[in-house]
Amino acid sequence: MKRYNVIITGPDGAGKTTAVQSVSDDGKASSTMLGGMSVDYGVANLSPTEQAHLYGISGEGSFDPIGDILIQSANGLLVMLDNRRNNPFRDLKRHTAKFSHLLASQQVVVGITHCDHTRTEPLERYRQWAQENLPIRVELVPIDARNQADILDLLIQVLQSCRQPSPPQPVDLPAQPLVTETATQALITPAATQPDPSPPDKTWRKRLWNMVYLE
């Protein structure tokens, strides 16, 4: 099963928890406290051979080192905004800045909830602001966090770049043998002598490590 990790972030009330719950399969959605930070976790089946593991975090305040572990494993970022808030543009700026190092390397999609609310910003204002203030182009989509189809569509957009197969690259055959004596010796070295990565020692770190890499 092909696995993708997606971070869902946004201000309180934007619909992060609802989105994770609405799209998760087999009742796998859950909320847990890790290192004093609440993480919404769920698994969504994108196809018979693909799963998206979802990690909902607020993105407000400091979340290191929890955020570091999540960001290192992330294949995409979904930012959710509450259109009813006083300054949703400030929210968008804060949450994209928090994950600025993901903007250039991963697909970023912004889901805007409560767009039917009166006296709210039109979608075109969001697009204009993003074009003028963000370093890359992001997709902005009005959604209902309770609607499974809406969230699935967002996830597919978030993961569009990494789901596309890479074109075959030409291979230049080296003049020297592919396997040298040193490489051969490394291959026959017992596995026990090779350093293996291990989860962090703290209990919450181990739980998060298992969520990101093992479940």
Closest alpha carbon to 55 in 70, 65, 68, 45: 70
Provide the domain count of the chain. Answer: 1
The pLDDT of residue 166 is 44
**79 within some domain:** yes
The model's pTM is 0.73
**97 within some domain:** yes
CATH number of the domain residue 209 falls in? 3.40.50.300
* pLDDT tens sequence across 107-131: 689 999 988 765 567 888 888 988 8
**141 within some domain:** yes
Q: How much of the chain exceeds pLDDT 70, in percent?
A: 63
**191 within some domain:** no
**176 within some domain:** no
The parent domain of residue 42 ranges over 2-164+200-214
